[in-house]
A = this chain, B = another copy of it.
Amino acid sequence: MRIGELSERTGTPRRLLRYYEEQELIVANRCANGYRDYDERFVDRVMQIRGLLDAGLPTRIIKQILPCLDKPRVIYFPDATPEMIATLEHQRDRMTARVECLIRNRDAIAEYLEVVRGTNA
């Protein structure tokens, strides 16, 4: 598929798909005429990127963790340098902290909503 379809199917502006490519989060094939050519897997991949961006991870970090998230678990051990592992562990812990913070605050919001609803009902 071309960039327009991927854009529609992921709800992502073309501009951003090109930007993600520039940041090396995705690598598109090119047709003979220079058009980008994506296969189905890019839909999930792009949604994953958007979710992570939305959750506060910068592209630089996403680029580092994406390669180890591929579905058919293919691990290229050459990539698994000690530094890489340390980075991943660090990011894993940061994500856990984020999750806790989000849950804590979301629950507080939910509780507030319930009190308000209960009072107004």
Contact = CB atoms under 8 A, between A and B. Distances in A.
A9 interface: no
A95 B109 contact: yes
A88 B109 contact: yes
Interface residues of A, number: 38
A90 to B, nearest CB: 10
Nearest to A52: B105
A116 B80 contact: yes
A13 interface: no
B92 A109 contact: yes
B92 A110 contact: yes
Top-3 shortest CB links A-B:
A56-B56, A51-B101, A95-B106
